[in-house]
Amino acid sequence: MRVLVVDDSRFVREMLQAVLLDLGYEVAVCETAEEAELLASGDWFDIVLVDLNLPGKSGIELCWDLRVKHPPGLQYLVIMTTMTQIATHIEALDGGADDFMPKPIDIGLLRARLRLGERLVRAHKDMHRLAMTDPLSGVLNRRSFFEQAEDALRRRQRTVESLAVVMVDIDHFKRVNDGFGHDMGDEVIRQVAKTLQGAVRQTDCIGRLGGEEFAILFSNTGIDVVSLLAERLRKRIAELALRSEGRLCPVTASFGVSPVLPDEDAIEAALKRADSALYRSKHEGRNRVTV
Ligand code: GH3
Ligand code: MG
Ligand code: MG
Ligand code: MG
């Protein structure tokens, strides 16, 4: 867990930093809301401890801005203040803080707040992961594949970074279901997904777009290399040798590959081209890669 401390008092910063490091947190400290926003724009912080009175933008305004600008994750934001009026506490909570902590800081109370923050952040991360993942195969579901692809396209530096998509469709999958049963069909989907996942980098995203159909977005990889990778994946899938009650269940998949062109800011057109290439793979006899 990463914690950010924002306080214009050097004493408070140093004290909190020492306590938090001692508790095993990764810690960053700064003096102003403006510095905090700069840090938060480059790094993710799970818990932010913010002094109410800061020079310039106030602690409450900072909480609000952190909330608005970093919507998908959950940050546990705590306002620290010497003010004891209920009205200040209400203002802090309504302004985007999750909690407040009286100053001078009581270490026992701080630790309890941190435990609460960790519980909330963990629960949110678990939910987020569940919402993103296809439960059968463990890869991204259709919605989050498109979301992540969109992010990757937005982030890319068009002049230097090449992106490419690969569509994968299991061949004659109906025969698997019909000949070996639906459970074996599910197992084939899982094994194919595992094979795909085992052979690509963390930065590439894999999604299950439909029944027995997957898409992979390769970042920073030229089309020639992606074609070779697809060929390697094709081979690995054909070599799976899955058995059901002693009977060998043949599994192959067809692939279609397309670059994402430098002027494209959405992934749909590239997926469509990859799908046409996949269609040619099917047409020409399946178990092959077409670019
Ligand atoms: P082709 O080589 O042309 O792709 O033939 P195919 O039989 O794989 O093609 P088709 O798309 O017609 O069939 C896909 C089948 O996948 C139909 C559907 O019943 C089955 N299916 C879809 N989702 C699941 C799933 O989650 N589990 C299982 N076991 N079967 C599924
Ligand atoms: Mg202050
Ligand atoms: Mg199929
Ligand atoms: Mg299909």
ipTM at complex level:
0.95
Q: What is the 8-class DSSP label of residue 200?
A: S
* CB distance 70 to ligand 1 below 6 Å: no
Of 76-80, 165-169, 199-203, which gets the smallest average pLDDT? Answer: 199-203
**Nearest of 134, 288, 149 to residue 211 by alpha carbon:** 134
Ligand 1 atom closest to the CA of 185, numbered from 1: 29
Of 58-72, 74-88, 219-233, which gets the smallest average pLDDT? Answer: 58-72
Catalytic site positions: 212
Q: Examine residue 104 and say whether the peptide bond preceding it is cis (omega within 30 degrees of 0).
A: yes
Ligand 1 atom closest to the CA of 171, numbered from 1: 2
* CB distance 212 to ligand 1 below 6 Å: yes
**Nearest of 116, 105, 132, 103 to residue 77 by alpha carbon:** 116
* Helix (H/G/I), strand (E/B), else coil: 224: helix
Nearest-CA residue for atom 31 of ligand 1: 211
**Nearest of 272, 118, 249, 251 to residue 193 by alpha carbon:** 251
Dist CA 283 CA 122 (whole Å): 47
What are the strands, taking DSSP E only, across the chain? 2-6, 26-30, 47-51, 76-81, 99-102, 163-170, 205-210, 213-219, 242-244, 247-249, 253-260, 289-290
- What mean pLDDT comes out for the span 94-117? 95
How would you class 76 by CB atoms within 10 Å of its CB: exposed for 0-12, middle for 13-18, buried for 19 or more? buried
* CB distance 171 to ligand 1 below 6 Å: yes
- What mean pLDDT comes out for the span 88-98? 93
Mutate to test the pocket of ligand 1, among 212, 213, 254 (most ligand atoms within 8 A of CB): 212
| Residue pair 284/290 in contact by the 8 Å Cβ criterion | yes
Look at residue 46 and tell me whether its pLDDT is greater than 80: yes
pLDDT tens-digit readout, 245-281: 999 999 999 999 999 999 998 999 999 999 999 999 9
- DSSP string over 263-276: T--SSHHHHHHHHH
- Which pLDDT belongs to residue 71? 61
287 CA distance to ligand 3 middle (Å) = 11
Dist CA 203 CA 142 (whole Å): 17
pLDDT tier at 72 (50, 70, 90 boundaries)? Answer: low
276 CA distance to ligand 1 middle (Å) = 18
* Helix (H/G/I), strand (E/B), else coil: 139: coil
| Residue pair 139/208 in contact by the 8 Å Cβ criterion | yes
The two structure tokens encoding residue 43:
């790094």
Dist CA 275 CA 256 (whole Å): 6
Give the ligand with the smallest distance to the CA of 174: 1
100 CA distance to ligand 3 middle (Å) = 55
Ligand 1 atom closest to the CA of 182, numbered from 1: 29
